[in-house]
Amino acid sequence: MSRSISHDQRNIAFREAFFSAEHAKKRAQKTSVVVEARAKDLGLEHQVEAVPDSRGAKLHWLGDRGSEKVILYFHGGGYGLPAFDGHILFLGQCLARCASAKGRKNVATKFPGQLLQATEALRLLLSSDYKPSEIVVGGDSAGGNLSIALISHILHPFVGIPSLSLEAPLGGLLLISPWVSFGTETQSFRDNELRDIFPVSTMSQLATEFVGKGGERNNWSEPFLASTSWWNNVPVRKILNVWGALEMFRDHIATFGQRLQMAGNSINNVECPMQVHIDCILDAQTGLEPGPMSVKIWEWLLEVL
- Mean pLDDT value across the chain: 90
The pLDDT value recorded for residue 108 is: 45
pLDDT at 196: 95
Coil, helix or strand at residue 80: coil
User: Mean pLDDT over residues 34-43, rounded?
Assistant: 86
Which is more confidently placed, 218 or 3? 218
Region of poorest pLDDT, from 13-17, 140-144, 222-226: 13-17
- DSSP secondary-structure letter at 76? -
| Mean pLDDT, rounded, for 178-204 | 94
pLDDT at 30: 85
- Look at residue 105 in the predicted model and tell me its pLDDT: 37
Burial of 227 (0-12, 13-18, 19+ CB in 10 A): exposed
> How many Å apart are CA 192 and CA 71, to the nearest integer?
31
> If we measure between CA atoms, which residue out of 283, 219, 268, 237 comes closest to residue 3?
283
Domain residue limits at 70: 5-304
Vertex 7 angle, CA 244 and 144, to 5°:
35
Cis peptide before 169 (omega within 30 of 0): no
Return the pLDDT at 211.
Answer: 84
In the three-class reduction of DSSP (H, G, I as helix; E, B as strand; rest coil), residue 290 is classed as coil
Domains identified in the chain, total number: 1
289 burial level (CB within 10 Å; 0-12, 13-18, 19+) = exposed
pLDDT digits (tens, 9 = 90+) for 132-168: 999 999 999 999 999 999 999 999 999 999 999 999 9
Q: Which residue has the higher pLDDT, 206 or 134?
A: 134
The average pLDDT across 111-124 equals 94
**pLDDT for 240 beyond 60:** yes
Residues 67-110 have pLDDT tens digits of: 888 899 989 888 788 888 899 998 888 877 774 334 443 334 67
Nearest CA-CA partner of 72 in 174, 223, 219: 174
More confident residue, 208 or 26: 208
**pLDDT, tens digit (0-9, with 9 covering 90-100), for 245-276:** 999 999 999 999 999 999 999 999 999 999 99
pLDDT of residue 222: 97
pLDDT beyond 80 at 13: yes
Where residue 50 sits, what CATH number does that domain have? 3.40.50.1820
Q: Is the pLDDT of residue 62 over 50?
A: yes
Q: CA nearest 7: which of 273, 225, 264, 251?
A: 273
- pTM for this predicted structure: 0.88
Render pLDDT for 275-302 as a digit per residue (tens, 0 to 9): 999 999 999 999 999 999 999 999 999 9
pLDDT at 100: 39
Identify the pLDDT of residue 209.
87
Q: Do the bridges between strand 101-104 and strand 172-176 make them parallel or antiparallel, or are there none, so unpaired?
A: unpaired
Distance CA 84, CA 30 (A): 9
**Cα 151-153-156 angle, rounded to 5 deg:** 110
Q: Residue 41 — very low, low, confident or very high, per pLDDT cuts 50/70/90?
A: confident
How many Å is the Cα radius of gyration of the chain? 18
CA distances from residue 229 to 234, 242, 265 in whole angstroms, order as listed: 10, 22, 11
The per-residue pLDDT for 101 is 37
Q: What's the confidence (pLDDT) of residue 106? A: 36
Q: What was the pLDDT predicted at 109? A: 60
Q: Could you give the dihedral angle defined by the CA atoms of residues 53, 59, 64 and 68, in that order, rounded to the nearest 10 degrees?
A: -50
- Residue 108 burial (CB < 10 Å; 0-12/13-18/19+)? middle
